[in-house]
């Protein structure tokens, strides 16, 4: 069973600030053009240019700042 989070309805949501905790499975991150940034592994990453299905490896958290962002699990839950 997953112990992390996905975005609501597996769709994009705008976040002023949101932290997605680490979980036990890889997830896929996507964001739309025109965002501010995410914090990944302690580093800032601009989100002005959109991307689709970038892998967020298991055990990794991400903070989202002023970005239309989507986070979904990659494949079925691991046993």
- State pLDDT tens for residues 37-50: 999 988 999 999 99
For residue 68, is it within any domain? yes
- State pLDDT tens for residues 61-70: 999 999 999 9
pLDDT of 9 > 50? The answer is: yes
Domain encompassing residue 61: 8-73
**Residue 61 in tokens:** 């958290």
Q: SS3 helix, strand, coil % of the chain, rounded to 5?
A: 5, 50, 45
For residue 43, is it within any domain? yes
- Based on the structure, what is the number of domains in the chain? 1
Mean pLDDT computed over 6-20: 94
For residue 28, is it within any domain? yes
């Amino acid at each position: 069973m997953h112990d992390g989070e996905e975005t609501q309805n597996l769709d994009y949501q705008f976040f002023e600030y949101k932290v997605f905790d680490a979980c036990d499975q890889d997830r896929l991150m996507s964001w739309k053009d025109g965002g501010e940034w995410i914090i990944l592994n302690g580093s800032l990453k601009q989100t002005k240019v959109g991307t689709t299905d970038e892998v967020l490896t298991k055990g990794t958290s991400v903070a989202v700042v002023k970005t239309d962002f989507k986070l979904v699990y990659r494949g079925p839950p691991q046993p």
